[in-house]
Amino acid sequence: MGSISEFFQHFLNGLTLGGIYALIALGYTMVYGILKFINFAHGEILMIGAYSGLFLFDYFRGDLPYGPLLMIVFFVAMLISMVISAVLGMSIEKIAYKPLRKATRLAPLLSAIGVSFILSNLAAFFWGTKSRKFDYPFDNTAYKIGDVAITPHQILILVVSFLMMVALKLYIDRTRMGKAMRATSLDQDVAALMGINVNQVISLTFAIGSALAATAGILIALDFKVYPTMGAMAGLKAFVAAVVGGIGNITGAMIGGILLGLLETFGVAVLGIPQGLKDTIAFGVLILILLVKPEGLLGKAEREKV
Amino acid sequence: MSELLRIDDIAVKYGNIQALHGVSMKVDEGAVVSLIGANGAGKSTLLKAIVGLEPLVSGSIQFQDSLIAVAARDTTQHFRFRKNHDILTTDKIAEQGIALVPEGRRVFADMTVEENLDMGAFMVRDDKLTARKKEEMYEFFPILKSRRKQKTRSLSGGEQQMMAIARALMSSPRLLLLDEPGLGLAPLIIQDIFQKIALINQEDNVTVFLVEQNAKIALRASTHGYVMENGRIVLSGPSEMLLEDPKVRAAYLGE
């Protein structure tokens, strides 16, 4: 294998991993942008999304062979899980965070950690701790382009995460509600003065972030199965990605996620960091960024409100 | 003239510190009313209370003869089972037709001038009307037109103030509240802004209630004035009269 195709192979692998991190990181960063709060239950929303996807897919697929119909079933299952996760995310906000909005900043944070444990506990109780296999909706034999191998699963991840990020960016930049979200994250009081219903914007933020997490959960599950604690590490690393990109900044979360995916892949493949130390890379990068640029790559140093 | 805004005996507290003690005042339809007072007198707090950003401890506020704010304690007493239904949130108060240009302008700094104006028109669900309103604003504040694609953070203080006023006007409010529109600006620019405020009042029939530390310019721009000290209204009357009042002259006009 030539070194150039080797590079492309790692690049591709890193990009797919990064795409998933980015999808999850967006949820953290959007919520933080508006509430200045880290939703530590985000990883568990991802997990519930993956379970919903799995159950729906298994329920609807019947004996369908690989083919367009099975793909449609898969996407329908994904879409419904996005809605389920969105509703879950909004409900969690209403029940566990909203009443604490005027409390000390630590209170909603602890509440989020509590919700996270409750959700993974409930999942373990109802669905067992054994990991469940999420079958590929396609034959996952890799295509070869020269010396570079790309699996249909990787293509799926790249296409889905790319489309979702573009859609989100357009929504935030161009639409009335999207702009209202940005305005609310910049100045909540003044947004309300414009007639923006801040509670509605917050709900919408949780809905979008949770739907993206469900997608990521399903995409991860295809490779790594579904289990009650699957959201913990994925969530934590995506959180790192969001901080690295500049928490609160949407483009930053996308870049941070992709960067983290690439760093992990190249760290193991090129720098020869043992696979077992892979997670060290993410958290090493986090510490480094915090030391050098605490506000993250695209973040702005916290300004005092006038 | 009919009463547009009526404030009845309101009190506001920050923790244990009482910021407003039983303030009552009214703003007539079509008028320009000013509220003057020293820094920390409670002027901004009053404006925040009107738009629902500060809860009332007692008293009530009416706009166009309907209640927009009432002390939470009173609500639970009178409408035990409809708690909160009679206190409007800030966005609902905005929908009634009250716009506030906040102290320090508070433009959406990371958004362009045009996006800021779009946000001002959030309640206008008509793209054509919004576009027309924007053109009106660009005509009224030509400097904003040349800056329309720029992030608002790159604007000068005076430009940001105009931007904030334009943003507030996008929703065609009936009552425009201005919190220290002259703060930190050069005298010529302050003059320009107050001329615009007069035009907004006369030509667009927007009632104006402005709060200023700069008593002279505020009283000259208004028909009626109130003087606030330590969270209380200590004096009120036609602005011309206040301008001649020896106490006002000594305390606020530096004479």
The per-residue pLDDT for A306 is 34
The per-residue pLDDT for B79 is 47
Output the pTM of the full model: 0.90
For the stretch A152-211, pLDDT in tens is 999 999 999 999 999 999 999 999 999 999 999 999 999 999 999 999 999 999 999 999
ipTM: 0.91
The per-residue pLDDT for B255 is 67
Residue of B nearest to A181 (CA): B119
**Residue A194 is nearest to which of B89, B94, B110, comparing CB atoms?**
B94
For the stretch B57-98, pLDDT in tens is 999 999 998 889 888 765 545 444 444 445 789 999 999 999
Nearest to B161 by CA among B219, B103, B224: B103
**Cα of B126 to nearest chain A Cα, Å:** 11
**Residue A306 located in a structural domain:** no
**Residue A194 located in a structural domain:** yes
More confident residue, B217 or B84: B217
**Cα of A94 to nearest chain B Cα, Å:** 17
Q: Report in angstroms the alpha-carbon separations of A304 from A27, A187, A300.
A: 25, 12, 12
* Contact A301/B at CB under 8 A: no
Residue B105: its chain A contacts at CB < 8 A?
306
For the stretch A54-80, pLDDT in tens is 999 999 988 888 889 999 999 999 999
**Residue A224 located in a structural domain:** yes
Residue of B nearest to A192 (CA): B91
State percent of chain A over pLDDT 70: 97
Which residues make Cβ contacts (< 8 Å) with residue A232, sequence separation at least 6? Answer: A43, A44, A116, A120
- Structural contact between residues B69 and B56, judged by C-beta atoms closer than 8 angstroms: yes
More confident residue, A289 or A204: A204
- Alpha-helical (H) ranges within chain A are 3-35, 42-61, 68-92, 106-127, 152-174, 176-186, 188-193, 198-224, 230-245, 250-269, 278-292
**Residue A4 located in a structural domain:** no
pLDDT at A49 over 90: yes
Residue B90: its chain A contacts at CB < 8 A?
189, 192-193
**Residue A188 located in a structural domain:** yes
Domain range enclosing A83: 24-229
**Residue A263 located in a structural domain:** no
Contact call for A179 and B109, based on CB within 8 A: no
**Cα of A47 to nearest chain B Cα, Å:** 34
- Tell the residue number behind the tokens 């996270």, with chain if given: A116
Based on the structure, what is the number of domains in chain A?
1
Domains and CATH numbers, chain B: 3-252 (3.40.50.300)
Distance CA A164, CA B177 (A): 41
Confidence band of A279 (pLDDT split at 50, 70, 90)? confident
* Contact B189/A at CB under 8 A: no
Contact call for A197 and B115, based on CB within 8 A: no
How many other C-beta atoms are found inside a 10 Å radius of the C-beta of residue B187?
10
